[in-house]
Amino acid sequence: MSDGGPIKGDDGERGAGMVIVRMLEREGLVDHMIVVTRWYGGKHLGGDRFRHVQTCVRAYLDAL
């Protein structure tokens, strides 16, 4: 059960959920849910995966 704070699930992408939470907090947003999904196509993204997550979240924020 949540205490009202942010809930994140990284499902193996350690740190990706916190990137999203921080971006939402910087915008002062509450009660928003962002789901970013990717499928493994044989290429390891390394640290670039966070850039891709940020790009997706930024597109959502810009559309608000």
61, two tokens = 């924020």
- C-beta of residue 38 within 8 angstroms of C-beta of residue 52: yes
Sequence-distant (6+) residues with CB within 8 A of 23 are 54, 57, 58, 61
pLDDT of residue 1: 46
pLDDT of residue 62: 97
Give the residues of the chain that fall short of pLDDT 50. 1
